[in-house]
Amino acid sequence: MTMAGHDRSSLRKVRLYGVLIALLGVMMLPFYAMFSSTFKPESEIFSAPATLFPSDPTFQAYVDVWSQTDVLLWIGNSFVISLGTVVLTLLLAIPAAYSCARNDFVGKRTFLLSVLVVQMFAPVVLIVGLFDVITQFGLFNTYLAVIIPAAAFTLPFNVWMLYGYFKTIPVALEESARIDGASQLQILTKIVLPLTKPALVASITYTFLYAWNRLLFVLTFLTDSGKYNIPRGVFSMVGALQTDWRMMLTVSVIGIIPLLILFAFLEEYIVAGMTAGAVKE
């Protein structure tokens, strides 16, 4: 490579990273505003115009948040709701997806397409009818009132994700196990599911995130503040006249830490899930 060519390629690299870092900077700005605000003392956070850097950083907000808010309770509720949704969704999705992948039966196409339509039917346009159903079944103010609708709207993604994956597992594997005398359930739990691990991790991550993040169902079906999840808890801190921004932003930071950990470890699976959900190969 000539000197000029070398220069040009390194110039291109500088430009590429420059643009990337600038874009990342723009995307990270809201996080910066959130994090930096939580290290300001109360007097500084309510000073105008805002200081862009905390002049006297303190952890006081993180100390205060334990005693002044229900952040731990909200995180606990978020876990209950998310795990409940994951379990219910998988219990329904695994058999259905497996059945569709292994059998050819009348109504299969209809079933799979209807499931896809459900994914298009956003909960908000259904909320009035859903409200009626939840109250009729006496589920109002129970965790199930949130878990059931969340499971319904994550089920489509799970069915399609697992269906696509099950199809790639050779039937021969199952047949040889059957000859060895394994039962249907053993075949599923000992052979098929372990092989499905990547798809399962993507499914679980997607479902967990969906349930963790949703405000609508909790806002509508839970009035008992003891059952609030993190988004609902944060929302409850928005005051009509006055908002304790310092506490609210600190709770927000704490509320997203579990997700940041999840992202650091499961990035690949999240990406796989996002792409599989939208675009087929």
Partner 1 sequence: MSLAEEYTEASEESRLERGLAYLQRNSRAYLLIAPAAVFLLAVVGYPIVETFRLSLYRSPADSTIETFVGLQHYAEIFDSDIFYRLLWQTGRWVVAGVVGKTILGLLIAIHLKGDIRGRKFFRTAFLIPWGIPYAISAVVFRWIEHPQFGYLNAILLKLGLIEQGIGILGNPSLAWLGVVVADIWIGTPFMAIIFLAGLQSIPQELYEAAAIDGAEKWHQFRYITLPQLKSVILIATLLSTIWTFVSFDVIWTMTGGGPISSTATLVIHIYQVGLQNGNLGRGAAYSVIGFLFLLVFAVIYLRIYTRGGDEL
- Rounded CA-CA distance 11/6 in Å is 9
Nearer residue to partner 1 within complex by CB, 50 or 63: 50
Tokens 């006055």, residue? 242
Q: What's the min distance (Å) between Cβ of 253 and partner 1?
A: 9
Nearer residue to partner 1 within complex by CB, 173 or 215: 215
For helices 123-136 and 144-166, the axis angle rounded to 10 degrees is 120
Nearer residue to partner 1 within complex by CB, 63 or 133: 133
Tokens 């309510």, residue? 46
What tokens were used for 81?
């709701």
Nearer residue to partner 1 within complex by CB, 7 or 268: 268
What tokens were used for 257?
């830490």
Q: Is the peptide bond before 49 cis (omega within 30 degrees of 0)?
A: yes
Nearer residue to partner 1 within complex by CB, 87 or 118: 118
Nearer residue to partner 1 within complex by CB, 109 or 190: 109
Query: Residue 84 carries which side chain, given as an amino acid letter?
Result: G
Nearer residue to partner 1 within complex by CB, 59 or 263: 263
Q: What's the min distance (Å) between Cβ of 203 and partner 1?
A: 14
The DSSP-derived string for the chain is --HHHHHHHHHHHHHHHHHHHHHHHHHHHHHHHHHHHHTS-HHHHT-SSPPSS-SS--SHHHHHHHHHS-HHHHHHHHHHHHHHHHHHHHHHHHHHHHHHHH---TTHHHHHHHHHHHHHS-HHHHHHHHHHHHHHTT-TTSTHHHHHHHHHHHHHHHHHHHHHHHTTS-HHHHHHHHHTT--HHHIIIIIIHHHTHHHHHHHHHHHHHHHHH--HHHHHH---GGG--HHHHHHHT--SS---HHHHHHHHHHHHHHHHHHHHHHHHHHHHHHHHHH---
